[in-house]
Amino acid sequence: MKHSALLLAALLALLPAGCVTRRVLITSNPPGAIVYRNGQPIGATPVEESFTYYGTYHYRLVREGCEPVDFYPKLPAPWYQWPGIDFIAENVVPFHLRDRHSLHFDLPEARPMRHDAIRSRAVELQQMGAAITPPPGTQPGPKSNRKTILPGALSPEVP
């Protein structure tokens, strides 16, 4: 009886252990958008990558001619990855499990911006930056040699 239990345990140890492969396929319309996952570039769509943890990820898609878009999809765990069952699925089950998610994102076309709106926003930001004072007890940074672009000017002043 004791020998048969040891023999059974030895045979079970020789069986190939289970394994779970987790992959996510990301596509976009139009294709060719650069995908960033949690701030790290992973490639141009369509792109497929593996992942380790289930949950919510931050994807940013950027493509010329389109607005950059941020998405926060949740990659849910399948039933065989629930706590307790996941140990059996990854270590005991003698076959390979594949969990594949597909995400598709539509990118809106870039909105045209008027040059005068861009220029006025730039001047507004310059004025906001000039109004910032350093905290007491700190040294201000070095002055820039660049000239300020004034509203209505086509290019910075050349000395």
For the chain, the average pLDDT equals: 80
pLDDT digits (tens, 9 = 90+) for 10-59: 555 555 555 778 899 999 999 999 999 999 999 999 999 988 888 899 99
Residue 4 in domain: no
Residue 16 in domain: yes
Segments forming the whole domain that contains residue 96:
10-106
Residue 131 in domain: no
Residue 118 in domain: no
Residue 134 in domain: no
Residue 44 in domain: yes
What's the mean pLDDT in 70-92? 78
Say how far apart CA 50 and CA 99 lie, in whole Å. 10
| Neighbour tally for 7: CB within 10 Å | 10
Q: Are 63 and 32 in contact (CB under 8 A)?
A: yes
Cβ contacts of 144 within 8 Å, gap of 6 or more: none
How many structural domains is the chain composed of?
A: 1
Residue 26: give its domain's CATH number.
2.60.40
Residue 148 in domain: no
Residue 74 in domain: yes
Amino acid 33: pLDDT: 94
Taking alpha carbons only, the member of 86, 149, 90, 143 closest to residue 116 is 149
